[in-house]
Chain A
Amino acid sequence: EAQVTQNPRYLITVTGKKLTVTCSQNMNHEYMSWYRQDPGLGLRQIYYSMNVEVTDKGDVPEGYKVSRKEKRNFPLILESPSPNQTSLYFCASSLVAGAIPSTDTQYFGPGTRLTVL
């Protein structure tokens, strides 16, 4: 089954304790992306990756790191989490970034709900 998986699905942590949220896709997609979703703000892009070893900042990258050593995996790293990073996080992937209708859709993972105390 074609899917994007994230782990963990739920995480409660404390300020300053490094954490990693994993993301994996089995569709051989080139493009992967991380979003955070907050009430009233919708989905905002944190980082994205056009392909292996190619990553770039999205709209809200501060406090986050990513890596893309393999095509299928795109972990999100919070080196020193803070309470303002409490949010719902989504990983997404698509064959390429954007433009071909109906064949280039971004597929989203189930989400990771992070609480930083």
Chain B
Amino acid sequence: GESVGLHLPTLSVQEGDNSIINCAYSNSASDYFIWYKQESGKGPQFIIDIRSNMDKRQGQRVTVLLNKTVKHLSLQIAATQPGDSAVYFCAENLDTQGGSEKLVFGKGTKLTVNP
């Protein structure tokens, strides 16, 4: 069945270190993936996305890696800062039977950055 999950529910890092958040997806037909950041008391906020025809995409301090062979997605945050503390969700874009598309979210990883 369709599912998107995360290997680690919590991650604690020191300020300045690099963070890696992992995600596994189950639908090999998924062609678009997104990482969201959710701070306490707020809605999810788009960070970065990647299409299935790419292996890597870089943003500002963030990199998303896609391994289609093992259906694995990761988010790398360079020089993690206290403001990066949040819950991070991966999501995959699925085609529905009705011909539309929807996002299926993973359960989230809570990142805590220690000063």
Contact = CB atoms under 8 A, between A and B. Distances in A.
Interface of A: 4, 33, 35, 40-45, 48, 50, 56, 58, 90, 92, 97-99, 101-102, 105-111
A98 B46 contact: no
B105 A43 contact: yes
A33 B108 CA distance: 19
25 contacts: A33-B103, A35-B105, A41-B107, A42-B105, A42-B106, A42-B107, A42-B108, A43-B105, A44-B105, A48-B100, A48-B102, A56-B96, A90-B43, A90-B44, A97-B100, A99-B101, A101-B32, A101-B50, A101-B51, A105-B34, A105-B46, A105-B49, A106-B103, A108-B44, A111-B43
Interface residues of B, number: 27
Nearest to B90: A42
Given A90-B43, A109-B43, A101 B102 contact: no
B74 interface: no
B81 interface: no
B11 to A, nearest CB: 16
Given A33-B102, A92-B43, A99-B32, 12 more contacts: A35-B105, A42-B106, A43-B44, A43-B91, A43-B105, A50-B100, A56-B98, A90-B43, A98-B32, A98-B102, A99-B31, A105-B34
For the residues of B in contact with A, the DSSP-based class is strand
Contacts of B104: 45
A111 B42 contact: yes
Contacts of A108: 36, 43-45
A111 B98 CA distance: 28
A96 to B, nearest CB: 8
Contact of B49 (A45, A92, A102): A102
B89 interface: yes
Most chain A beta-carbon contacts within 10 A, residue among B42, B101, B104 = B101
